[in-house]
């Protein structure tokens, strides 16, 4: 399997398809690079090079017990980008991956980056507080961690419903979507599951968003039941200089996987890449 060995000896699995200008996909929690299969095919068919890695402790990457912090994630991404000598890169990040993208730019700059896409992403801040009333209460994150520890297999099955807004009337979520979510969740280590909640719940990426000096597309669903659009997507688009915001009516957190929404996102992504 293709792997990138990081500076601390962790093997990061990645897919590397096609030729042309590189598009690097950064997955969310608790997923892995397989979440981007549809987008990988779309960009490769359009003449780009598509790359998607599994974060440490997720999927086929080394199931380490530690290193689940933003600096480490960003440096892992940098090891991949520099190891493959990628340049003129578009970074596409979903959910927690948005934090990885922001920290990468904060630590490594945009010298190799052409543009960025934030999809249903967590920046600038998830945690509810006096300055972020639209955020998620701390008690919710505590419940998530408790659910993973108590019975993570059932927890992932239950969580898939909200992830895809599957309880909404008229939704197009398939059983396959929910099964895929469960499978990827089970391929994540239990420590990664818990530690990543601590990482993404209360980190403020405002200053790092301000450092994004390349074209940016922000896409978010207005029915995202995991990462509220008013606390994240709308604010990120206000903070990033010149960012374009697209809000999908009825869109869930799992836009890139759900029939209908994924085709719309693929079209928006390809239009953005062509600029």
Is the entire prediction scored with pTM above 0.95? Answer: yes
Residue 3, classed as helix, strand or coil, is strand
Looking at residue 1, its pLDDT comes to 82
CB atoms within 10 A of CB 15: 18
Please write the tens of the pLDDT for every residue from 7-39. 999 999 999 999 999 999 999 999 999 999 999
Q: Is 64 left (phi over 0), alpha (psi -120 to 50) or beta?
A: beta
Nearby residues of 241 by Cβ (< 8 Å), 6 or more positions away: 210, 212, 213
Assess contact for 36 and 55: CB atoms under 8 A: no
Annotated catalytic sites, by residue?
95, 224, 253
Please write the tens of the pLDDT for every residue from 143-180. 999 999 999 999 999 999 999 999 999 899 999 999 99
Please write the tens of the pLDDT for every residue from 79-109. 999 999 999 999 999 999 999 999 999 999 9
Which residue has tokens 């892992």?
A: 76
Looking at residue 35, its pLDDT comes to 98
CA separation for the pair 185, 187 (Å, rounded): 5
CA separation for the pair 181, 174 (Å, rounded): 11
Q: In order of start, what are the domains of the chain with their CATH numbers?
A: 3-273 (3.40.50.1820)
């Amino acid at each position: 399997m293709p792997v990138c060995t990081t500076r601390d000896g962790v093997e990061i699995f990645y897919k590397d398809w096609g030729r042309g200008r590189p598009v690097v996909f950064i997955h969310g929690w608790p997923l892995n690079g397989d979440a981007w299969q549809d987008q990988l095919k779309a960009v490769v068919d359009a003449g780009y090079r598509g790359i998607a890695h599994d974060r440490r402790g997720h999927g086929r990457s080394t199931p380490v017990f530690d290193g689940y912090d933003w600096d480490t994630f960003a440096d892992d991404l940098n090891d991949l980008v520099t190891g493959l000598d990628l340049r003129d890169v578009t970074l596409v990040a979903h959910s927690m991956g948005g934090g990885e993208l922001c920290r990468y730019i904060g630590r490594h700059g945009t010298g190799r980056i052409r543009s960025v896409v934030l999809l249903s992403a967590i920046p600038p801040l998830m945690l509810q507080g006096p300055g972020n009333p639209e955020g998620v209460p701390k008690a919710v994150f505590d419940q998530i961690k408790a659910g993973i520890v108590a019975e993570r297999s059932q927890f992932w099955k239950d969580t898939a419903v909200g992830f895809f807004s599957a309880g909404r009337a008229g939704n197009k979520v398939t059983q396959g979507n929910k099964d895929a979510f469960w499978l990827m969740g089970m391929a994540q280590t239990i420590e990664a599951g818990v530690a990543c909640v601590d990482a993404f719940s209360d980190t403020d990426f405002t200053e790092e968003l301000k450092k994004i000096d390349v074209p940016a597309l922000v896409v978010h669903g207005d029915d995202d039941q995991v990462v509220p659009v008013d606390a994240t997507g709308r604010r990120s688009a206000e903070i990033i200089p010149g960012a374009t915001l697209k809000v999908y009516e009825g869109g869930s957190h799992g836009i890139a996987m759900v029939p209908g929404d994924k085709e719309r996102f693929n079209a928006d992504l390809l239009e953005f890449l062509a600029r």
